[in-house]
């Protein structure tokens, strides 16, 4: 690989923090290879911000990121660090950056990761964030790495549930992840043709958002039902109990849980991760700091972290409208 020397940036670190997401490895690979292309050395910081505090690092040469583009999880491990939120932890992280001669850090994760990046930037460390979470709940970007894979995994699981629900003429209540957001539930609900989709962005009403929809579906001749529940909207167990009590059905409840976080990333996640990794390195190499790499439609752009964290993200109104029509309004 041809090496080109770049100004003052000689060595950068890359870390993954928060919940892992399929495609994080593809992003790490892209950061390493894009950096090497510019003559910048790259080290991996293990276990997220905690690793930056303790100096838990590993060298990352081109060969170290071979054959990881297709792997789920993160080769750098990930963690949520309480210590990093303290002044002492932050000073220690800054000291590690100096000790290791890091001219910049690429942090891959969710909004908690970006808050950490912003705090670190205020101590003079150059940081760039890459959005990686299956929740797609980061305000500044239309897309977060891992969402497509997680949605496809959930759809595959629910398609299987559908087979047995159809055979027994039953109702399945399926809880999907998403933290406090309904993006995953909405996409999955649309893709499986759910009878009802519950999202936290809309206050939960059993009568109008579940019971009424099941009654209408029954009237139209349906004998099996799929209810998709975002974990932030309601508990699938409670929804199942309400269905049993008020509709006389015998539902089966499935909480998909962490199964949604694993698996080989889809084409979309590999491509987005690779594009975002490239962009993060470009920003650091050009001396930019405290930026987040974002997807805006089909384009990759960058935003100031503070501005990015203060933006508001709502469910796609058109997608939401389609869902209400598909589930009988």
Is the Cβ of residue 104 or residue 132 nearer to ligand F6P in the bound state? 132
Stretch that binds ligand F6P, among 131-139, 165-173, 243-251, 312-320 (CB under 6 A): 131-139
Query: Which candidate in 135, 137, 148, 302 is catalytic?
Result: 135
Interface pick for ligand F6P out of 29, 33, 261, 270 (rule CB under 6 A)? 261
Is the Cβ of residue 72 or residue 110 nearer to ligand F6P in the bound state? 110
Interface pick for ligand F6P out of 15, 69, 177, 273 (rule CB under 6 A)? 177
Q: Is 138 near ligand F6P (CB under 6 A)?
A: no
- Known catalytic residue: 135? yes
Burial of 288 (0-12, 13-18, 19+ CB in 10 A): middle
Stretch that binds ligand F6P, among 22-30, 173-181, 236-244, 302-310 (CB under 6 A): 173-181
Q: Is 135 near ligand F6P (CB under 6 A)?
A: yes
Stretch that binds ligand F6P, among 88-96, 175-183, 216-224, 291-299 (CB under 6 A): 175-183
Query: What is the pattern of x (binds ligand F6P, CB under 6 A) and - over residues 179-218?
Result: x---------------------------------------
- If one counts every other C-beta atom within 10 angstroms of the C-beta of residue 78, the result is 24
Number of residues in the chain: 329
Six token digits for residue 116: 């950490």
For every residue of 51-107, DSSP letters joined together read HHHHT-EEE--GGGGTT-TT--S-TT-----SGGGSHHHHHHHHHHHHHHT-SEEEE
* 3-class SS string, 172-207: EEEEECCCCCCHHHHHHHHHHCCCEEECCCCCCCHH
Report phi then psi at 132, rounded to 5: -135, 105
Q: How far apart are CA 184 and CA 34, in angstroms?
A: 31
Q: How far apart are CA 267 and CA 317, in angstroms?
A: 26
Could you tell me if 313 and 138 are in contact, meaning their C-beta atoms sit under 8 angstroms apart? yes
Interface pick for ligand F6P out of 74, 133, 289, 290 (rule CB under 6 A)? 133
Could you tell me if 105 and 121 are in contact, meaning their C-beta atoms sit under 8 angstroms apart? no
Strands 291-296 and 299-304: antiparallel
Q: Is 134 near ligand F6P (CB under 6 A)?
A: yes
Stretch that binds ligand F6P, among 69-77, 89-97, 127-135, 242-250 (CB under 6 A): 127-135
Is the Cβ of residue 104 or residue 112 nearer to ligand F6P in the bound state? 112
Interface pick for ligand F6P out of 110, 182, 251, 277 (rule CB under 6 A)? 110
Q: Is 125 near ligand F6P (CB under 6 A)?
A: no
Query: What is the pattern of x (binds ligand F6P, CB under 6 A) and - over residues 268-307?
Result: ----------------------------------------
Minimum CB separation of residue 201 from ligand F6P in Å reads 15
Helix-helix angle 317-326:183-192, to 10 degrees: 40
Q: Is 47 near ligand F6P (CB under 6 A)?
A: no
**Catalytic residue numbers, as ranges:** 135
Residues of this chain that interact with ligand F6P (CB under 6 A) are: 19, 110, 133-135, 177-179, 231, 261
């Amino acid at each position: 690989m041809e090496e080109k020397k770049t100004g003052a940036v000689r060595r950068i670190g890359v870390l993954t923090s928060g919940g892992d997401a399929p495609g994080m490895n593809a992003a790490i690979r892209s950061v390493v290879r894009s950096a090497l292309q510019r003559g910048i050395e790259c080290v991996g910081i293990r276990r997220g911000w905690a690793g930056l505090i303790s100096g838990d690092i590993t060298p990352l040469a081109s060969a170290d990121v071979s054959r990881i583009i297709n792997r789920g999880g993160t080769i750098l491990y990930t963690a949520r660090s309480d210590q990093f939120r303290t002044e002492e932890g932050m000073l220690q992280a800054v000291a590690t950056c100096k000790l290791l001669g890091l001219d910049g850090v690429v942090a891959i994760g969710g909004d908690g990761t970006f808050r950490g990046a912003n705090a670190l930037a205020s101590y003079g460390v150059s940081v760039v964030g890459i959005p990686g979470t299956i929740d797609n709940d980061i305000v500044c970007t239309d897309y977060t790495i891992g969402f497509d894979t997680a949605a496809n995994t959930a759809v595959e699981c629910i398609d299987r549930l559908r087979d047995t629900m159809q055979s027994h003429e039953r109702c399945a209540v399926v809880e999907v992840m998403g933290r406090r957001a309904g993006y995953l539930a909405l996409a999955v609900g649309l893709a499986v043709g759910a009878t009802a989709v519950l999202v936290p962005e809309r206050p939960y009403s059993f009568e109008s958002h579940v019971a009424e929809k099941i009654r209408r579906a029954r009237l139209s001749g349906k004998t099996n039902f799929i209810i998709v529940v975002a974990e932030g909207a309601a508990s699938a167990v409670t929804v199942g109990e309400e269905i049993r009590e008020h509709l006389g059905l015998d539902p089966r409840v499935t909480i998909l849980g962490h199964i949604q976080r694993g698996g080989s990333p889809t084409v979309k996640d590999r491509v987005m991760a690779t594009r975002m990794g490239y962009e993060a390195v470009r920003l650091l190499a050009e001396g930019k700091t405290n930026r987040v790499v974002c997807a805006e439609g089909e384009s990759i752009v960058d935003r100031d972290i503070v501005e990015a964290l203060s933006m508001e993200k709502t469910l796609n109104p058109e997608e939401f409208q389609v869902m209400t029509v598909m589930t009988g309004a």
